[in-house]
Amino acid sequence: MAQADVRTINNNILDDLSSRHPQAQLSGLGGFVREGILYVPNRGPLQLYPSDIVAYDPATGGVILVTARAAAGASWVHS
């Protein structure tokens, strides 16, 4: 994954349990690390695998993970 993409996602993942909704990476609660782990704020780590899709909700800063297997299913619409 390109560093610019990692930075963009890390800058937009928010801590949804804090009333101020700070960036999770600044509060130490979330974001990507090089080892392929996504730390979801207040929920813990997720191991990422090749072709997994990671996104975020721009309105809330919530993390969205779609596994490669689910993304390959015929019922998903994505681009």
Q: Where are the domains of the chain?
A: 3-72
Which residues are 33's β-sheet partners?
37
For residues 48 and 27, give the distance between their C-alpha atoms in angstroms, rounded to a whole number.
22
Q: What is the amino acid identity at position 54?
A: V
Q: Which two tokens stand for residue 14?
A: 């928010």
Band of the pLDDT at 78, cuts 50, 70, 90?
low
Name the burial class of residue 39, with classes exposed (0-12), middle (13-18) and buried (19+) by CB atoms within 10 angstroms of its CB.
buried
What percent of the chain lies above the pLDDT cut of 70? Answer: 75
In the predicted model, is pLDDT for residue 35 greater than 70?
Answer: yes
Q: Which two tokens stand for residue 53?
A: 């899709």
Per-residue pLDDT tens over the stretch 16-34: 776 666 676 665 666 776 6
